[in-house]
Amino acid sequence: MNRSDDGDRAKRLEEENEALGRENQLLKTILDKVHESVLAVNERDEFILYNREAEKLEGFNREDILGKKEDEVYPQPFYFSDEVTKMILKTGIPVTEQPYWFRSKDGRKTNMIFSAYPFFDQGKIAAVFVIFRNMNQMGDFIATTLNIHKQFFDQDQKLSLENGYHLEDIISVNQKIQEIIAEARKIAVHNSHVLIVGETGTGKELFAHGIHNAALHSGEPFIPINCAAIPDTLLESLLFGTVKGAFSGATDMPGLFEQAADGTVYLDEINSMSLPLQSKLLRVLQEKTVRRLGSEKQTALNCRIISSSNTDPLEAIENQTFRPDLYFRLATVTINIPPLRERKEDIGILAIHFIQHYNQEFGLLINQISDDLLQQFYQYDWPGNIRELKNFIENGMNFVQAEDKVLNISHLSESFRERLGQSDRLPEAPVHQGTLKSTLLETEKNLIKTSLVQHQGNITKTALSLGISRQYLHQKIRTYHLAGLKG
* CATH number at 342-420: 1.10.8.60
Distant-in-sequence, close-in-space partners of 311: CB < 8 Å, separation ≥ 6 = 271
Whether residue 158 has pLDDT greater than 70: no
pLDDT in tens, 169-195: 899 989 999 999 999 999 999 999 999
pLDDT in tens, 298-331: 999 999 999 999 999 999 999 999 999 999 999 9
pLDDT at 56: 85
pLDDT at 295: 86
pLDDT at 162: 46
Query: Comparing 19 with 107, which gets the higher pLDDT?
Result: 19
Class of domain 34-136: alpha beta
CATH superfamily to which 164-338 belongs: P-loop containing nucleotide triphosphate hydrolases (3.40.50.300)
pLDDT in tens, 34-83: 888 999 999 999 999 999 998 888 888 889 889 998 888 887 777 788 88
Q: What is the mean pLDDT of the chain?
A: 85
pLDDT at 117: 94
Q: Which CATH architecture has domain 436-479?
A: Orthogonal Bundle (1.10)
Least confident among 123-137, 150-164, 377-391, 414-428: 150-164
Spatial distance between the Cα atoms of 217 and 262, rounded to a whole number of angstroms: 7
Selection from 485, 464, 410, 473 nearest residue 444 by Cα: 473
Q: What is the 3-state secondary structure (H, E, C) of the chain?
A: CCHHHHHHHHHHHHHHHHHHHHHHHHHHHHHHHCCCEEEEEECCCEEEEECHHHHHHHCCCHHHHCCCEHHHHCCCCCHHHHHHHHHHHHHCCCEEEEEEEEECCCCCEEEEEEEEEEEEECCEEEEEEEEEEEHHHHHHHHHHHHHHHHHHHHHHHHHHHHHCCCHHHCCCCCHHHHHHHHHHHHHHCCCCCEEEECCCCCCHHHHHHHHHHCCCCCCCCEEEEECCCCCHHHHHHHHHEECCCCCCCCCCEECHHHHHCCCEEEEECHHHCCHHHHHHHHHHHHHCEECCECCCCCEECCCEEEEEECCCHHHHHHCCCCCHHHHHHHCCEEEECCCHHHCHHHHHHHHHHHHHHHHHHHCCCCCEECHHHHHHHHHCCCCCHHHHHHHHHHHHHCCCCCCCCEECHHHCCHHHHHHHCCCCCCCCCCCCCCCHHHHHHHHHHHHHHHHHHHCCCCHHHHHHHHCCCHHHHHHHHHHCCCCCCCC
Half-sphere exposure of 45 (CA within 13 A, CB side): 17
Whether residue 247 has pLDDT greater than 80: no
pLDDT at 316: 92
Whether residue 108 has pLDDT greater than 90: no
- Mean pLDDT along residues 244-257: 80
Provide the pairing of β-strand 37-42 with 124-134: antiparallel
Spatial distance between the Cα atoms of 351 and 378, rounded to a whole number of angstroms: 11
Q: For residue 337, what pLDDT band results from cuts at 50, 70 and 90? A: very high
Selection from 53, 47, 81, 42 nearest residue 66 by Cα: 47
Query: Comparing 217 with 161, which gets the higher pLDDT?
Result: 217
Query: Which range, 246-255, 300-309, 442-451, is most confident?
Result: 300-309
Query: Comparing 138 with 94, which gets the higher pLDDT?
Result: 94
- Mean pLDDT along residues 423-451: 60
Query: Which range, 96-110, 148-162, 306-320, is most confident?
Result: 306-320
% of the chain exceeding 70 in pLDDT? 89
pLDDT at 106: 67
What backbone torsions phi and psi does residue 314 show, to the nearest 5 degrees? Answer: -70, -35
pLDDT at 469: 72
Least confident among 96-105, 176-185, 234-243, 375-384: 96-105
